[in-house]
Structure 1
Amino acid sequence: MPPPGRARSEREQLELFHAIAGDFPPRDAQDLMAFPFFSLAKSPRMVPIDYRTPDVTIRVEASAEHGMATIWDADVLIWAASHLVAARDAGRRTSRLMVASPREILTFIGRGDSARDYERLEAAFDRLQSTTIKTSLRQTGKGQLHRFSWINEWKRHTAREGRTRVIELILPDWFYQAVLDDALVLTIDPAYFGLTGGLERWLYRIVRKHGGRQRAGWAFGLRHLYEKSASLSPYRRFAFELREMAKRQPFPGYRLSVRPDRNGNDTLAFAPAKLSTGACGQAVNPSVLSVVDLSVPSLPPHPCYRLRKTPNQGVESNGYGTLNLESNLKESNFKDVGTPADPWKTPGEGR
């Protein structure tokens, strides 16, 4: 209990939730998959993300000391979401105040447990706490905005020999409520953690969020995807990298194809890999639904590939879900339709 006259801190008002043991799939928050909340670069990003449509406002700002939280740092939030949902499904009480050993977190997100990995994990905590977000997403009233950081605070407990024993962190209410709503959480393939490029990771989350198990697949215009990414790379570079990804087919469970629509504008189409011809079995649907109301040719025959491992202006919790058309239609700004392997490089070591 706090001394008389002293207000209780946020931590003192929350129950402590211990990360649970067990083998369960990683889960991601659907809003974080669909919108630009993170830097895709491995060098520090200071330029804010400013994403606006008639229905959605997102402003992400970085601190001068730490830079903006990256899409690799978001692995910590995937870890948190996964444990919260698993605990809830098991009938356990959950809390925004979470505690776990660094090794537990690193193992879940596919990292090593060297001293360098521990340092990079703590640097991720710093970026997650210092990055601020202001958004209208999931606000009930018109013009309402919610401002928060990905982590309210975090605390390291060390043993006598100086090694980190456990990490405590407090999640923001905005994220916590989204995770505990089944309509806003999706299961992702564990192979996601093996994707090393920032753009690869961002695009997988877009594909997973919008693709689901749709036999007809889905498609986006490259220009629209560019705006959704909030990438600082020129559009020409962005389009080149997406074409290279379509050649490599790096995504677990999906096939990509870049081709022009009937107006000559480039589109990225994707469909579940199991529907491809050849080694995958069945053929794809003869047409692919396009968000710009066009019919995109089906993907060409190809064996399945499974992987093991300038500023810009909700589904089930225990498996793959269906396409969320409503969330796409709300994004009314639709237009025409070699990364190092180390995911947590120090500033200046990569894109």
Structure 2
Amino acid sequence: MPSHRKSSSERAHLDAFIVTGDDPGLRDQRDLMERPFFSLSKSRRTKPILYKARDVEVQVYAVPEHGMATIWDADVLIWAASQIVEAENNGCRTSRFFRFTPYQLLTAIGRARGATEYRLLKSALTRLQSTVVATTIRHGEHWRRQQFSWINEWEEMITRSGRIEGMEFVLPEWFYRGVVDRSLVLTIDPAYFRLTGGIERWLYRIARKHAGHQPQGWSFEIPHLYAKSGSLARVSDFALDMRRIAVRQPLPGYTLRLERVNGTEFLHILPLAFSTAPVEKPVDAHVISGAWPVNPHVISGAPDTGYQAHEFRKIPDYMLRVRALNLSNLKESNLVVVRPVENSTNVPRSSAKNGERDGGK
């Protein structure tokens, strides 16, 4: 590591937060959980995310050379948030300037520690630094847009023999303040890191933020979920993904049910035993079709890709049941309750038709 720093480096003006070897409970930042900030694909994305709901805007831009930061890259931010909260809980001072070893980070997020993983970590840090975010979230009394990158700068410390001894990075002020403010942080299940699909990881964060531990869960219109995801897929393909995931039930601590109300398709997210305990579910190769004919309650005999439909089958009853309305813990919600169809009870729902309608803890 060089013995001197350029005066332009933020690290010259910040005290280092030296990460210990402790394994803290995992925390995620609420704003990142409910709005589209990351690419959901491992393939290089350069098309920007442009999201707006009422007075909230999120714009994410990538450079062609590196592509947009992915939801797997966001593991670095989850780890950083967890370290900050744990340190402050223990009365320690924290800083945006992190000093740590790659071994600490990779171990905490459930990855191997070989040469390939170190190389992938450096690629993730590069994407986090090169991705530019502009948002009006948390703008306070006066409207304003803040622009930043997920990491302001980073550096690795290498011996003459080529061995990596440590790393440093500086977090943006916007993210750091959102973590220090405990009301903007939620615990997450360590099983999150075992989710392999980008859409599944994103959906878990949505579930944890909105359904939380509410006994009655939360419901979203499929088009609203699509807008919140920032996905590059077509709406119809996105809906297929939701149906396939609802059959597989891969989310730790949550169960998913599809329902149709007055012709509108909803995904209902329910806490499993009112906790976020890990849940292991077998994968069912039969997936719900996107064909939806006159009778929408059909299930496809298509292969596990889910992109074609052949023989129609009735949807299992468990996917159609809806529980009673729960209005607890909805202080942040601009709730609109959709009138249910006959013989169906209601649950909190979010719709994109009149802006963003979010809630839950």
Q: Which TM-score bucket, shorter chain as reference?
A: 0.7 to 0.9
CA 1:20–1:48: 2 relative to 1, 3 Å: same
Match of 1:343 in 2: none
**More displaced 10-residue stretch of structure 1: 211-220 or 201-210:** 211-220
Equivalent residues of 1:84, 1:179 under 8 A apart? yes
Instruction: Check if 1:333 corresponds to 2:355.
Output: yes
Shift of 1:289: 5.4
- Listed as ranges, the matches of 1:243-322 within 5 Å are 243-261=243-261, 263-274=262-273, 286-288=323-325, 292-294=336-338
Deviation by residue 1:192-233 (Cα, 9 ceiling, x = unmatched): 000000100001000000111111111000010001111010
* C-alpha separation in 2, matches of 1:62 and 1:256: 32
Query: How many residues of Structure 1 are paired with residues of Structure 2 in the alignment?
Result: 300
Deviation by residue 1:251-310 (Cα, 9 ceiling, x = unmatched): 11111001101x11100001111169xxx9xx99832559541367579xxxxxxxxxxx
> Which protein is bigger by CA-based radius of gyration?
2
Equivalent residues of 1:288, 1:295 under 8 A apart? no
**More displaced 10-residue stretch of structure 1: 29-38 or 266-275:** 266-275
Shift of 1:139: 1.0
Equivalent residues of 2:224, 2:352 under 8 A apart? no
Deviation by residue 1:26-65 (Cα, 9 ceiling, x = unmatched): 1000000011000001110000000012210111000111
* C-alpha separation in 1, matches of 2:200 and 2:263: 25
Amino acid across the alignment from 1:264: G
Match of 1:59 in 2: 59
Amino acid across the alignment from 1:287: A
Deviation by residue 1:6-33 (Cα, 9 ceiling, x = unmatched): 9563111000111123232110000000
* C-alpha separation in 2, matches of 1:90 and 1:47: 42
Identity across the alignment (%): 46
Amino acid across the alignment from 2:355: N
Runs of at least 5 residues in structure 2 that lack an aligned partner in the other structure: 280-317, 328-334
Match of 1:12 in 2: 12
* C-alpha separation in 1, matches of 2:201 and 2:353: 21
SS of equivalent residue, structure 1 residue 183: helix
* C-alpha separation in 2, matches of 1:177 and 1:264: 42
Match of 1:316 in 2: none
* C-alpha separation in 2, matches of 1:8 and 1:129: 16
* C-alpha separation in 2, matches of 1:89 and 1:161: 39
Shift of 1:175: 0.3
Aligned-residue RMSD, C-alpha = 2.8
* C-alpha separation in 1, matches of 2:92 and 2:254: 34
Shift of 1:140: 1.9
Deviation by residue 1:64-112 (Cα, 9 ceiling, x = unmatched): 1100000000000000000000000000000100011111111111110
**TM-score in terms of structure 2 length:** 0.77
* C-alpha separation in 2, matches of 1:132 and 1:71: 15
Instruction: Check if 1:231 corresponds to 2:231.
Output: yes
SS of equivalent residue, structure 1 residue 251: coil
